[in-house]
Homo-oligomer: A and B are copies of this chain.
Amino acid sequence: MIKKITIIGSGNVATQLSLAFKRSNIKIVQIISRNKKDGNKLAKNLNTLYEENIKKLITTDLVIVCVNDDEIKKVIKLMPDIKVVHTSGSTHINVFKNKTEYGVFYPIQSLNKEIEIDFHNIPICIEANNKKFEKQLIKLANLIVNNVISLKSKKRKHLHLSAVIASNFSNFSYLMAKKHLDNNNIDFKLLKPLIIHTANKIINNEPLLMQTGPAKRGDKKIINEHLLMLKDENFKKIYKLLSNSISKEYDK
């Protein structure tokens, strides 16, 4: 059973994940991070040890690598051969191929260090290079969340791509809306109930049935008016392409 954990990283995922472990009384033995300030801060928060140098890694039941995708390989090369997982949605499990026991521990969420989150509802995707280790990882994940699934690298990549579309692109639509409102001295607060309701609707309904607006109705008059009102050339392009695609989706 996995009882003691080493975390590599001190960013958004490292922070939120290790805080979730702490709340479930799982011991984080050491935080390893090149970022002294954030590493020390997180270690202090967890009441544990901080270490800058990965060669001084303390052997535990599991090392969780929470670093940027393009840093994972470098970190692995410097590590001893102990049980290890990464937390990336888009990095193949084979990145560990020279190790003995390895896997993936991917929380499907866009985590921010500073923003508290109810971790229990986050689904965690597990993958491992052997069944026994996979079971251990599932057991561990079940201690901090209530939705754990096994998912191979290829499917995980498709899930990650979909997460980017659903989350990053929706946030960018909020950003575009806010910029347009700011430019016209209108308070963004007015849109907040609409944004929340639009997201909440898909809990119990198909997004396909929830689409509304001029593009869905094929209302070219309004679409053309809107295009004239948008001053930002990029936003104009996006409005046009998305409206065309929505209209096409509904055969308008």
- Chain A positions within 8 Å of B, measured between CB atoms, are 12, 68-70, 90, 108-110, 112, 115, 117, 121-123, 125, 147, 149, 151, 155, 157-159, 161-178, 180-181, 184-186, 189-203, 205-208, 210-217, 219, 221-222, 225-226, 229-230, 234-235, 237-239, 241-242, 245-246, 248-249
CB closest chain-B residue, reference A91? B222
Decide: B194 and A108 in contact? CB cutoff 8 A: yes
> Who on chain B is nearest to A156 by CB?
B186
- Residue of B164, B184, B202, B249 near A174 (CB, 8 A) is B202
Verify A241–B239 contact, CB threshold 8 A. Answer: no
Distance A248 CA – B232 CA, assembled complex (angstroms): 13
- In the complex, are the beta carbons of B213 and A164 less than 8 A apart? yes
Which of B147, B190, B200 is close to A196, meaning CB atoms less than 8 Å apart?
A: B200
Contacts of A195 in B (CB 8 A): 166-167, 170, 199, 202
A202: contacting residue among B121, B162, B171, CB under 8 A: B171
Structural contact, B158 and A245, CB atoms closer than 8 A: no
Asked whether A110 lies within 8 Å of B167 as measured between CB atoms, the reply is no
User: Of B90, B159, B173, B181, which is within 8 A of A158 by CB?
Assistant: B181
Measured CB to CB, the closest approach of chain B to A242, in angstroms, equals 5
Please give the distance in Å from A55's CB to the nearest CB on chain B. Answer: 27
Expressed in whole angstroms, the minimum distance between the Cβ of A232 and any Cβ of chain B is 9
Contact at A203–B192, with CB atoms within 8 Å?
Answer: yes
State the Cβ distance, A70 to closest chain B Cβ, in Å. Answer: 7
Which residues of B have CB within 8 Å of A180?
A: 158, 161-162, 165
- CB of A193 within 8 A of CB of B241, answer no
For residue A196, give the distance in angstroms from its CB to the closest CB of chain B: 5
Task: Give min CB distance, A54 to chain B, whole Å.
Answer: 22
Q: Which residues of B contact A206 (CB under 8 A)?
A: 178
Give 9 CB contacts A-B under 8 Å.
A70-B221, A110-B197, A123-B190, A161-B180, A161-B226, A162-B186, A163-B177, A167-B213, A170-B195
Among all A-B residue pairs, the 9 with the closest Cβ atoms: A199-B199, A168-B213, A166-B177, A170-B170, A175-B207, A174-B207, A162-B177, A169-B173, A158-B184
B residues in contact with A117, CB < 8 Å: 197
Contact B186 A109 (CB under 8 A): no
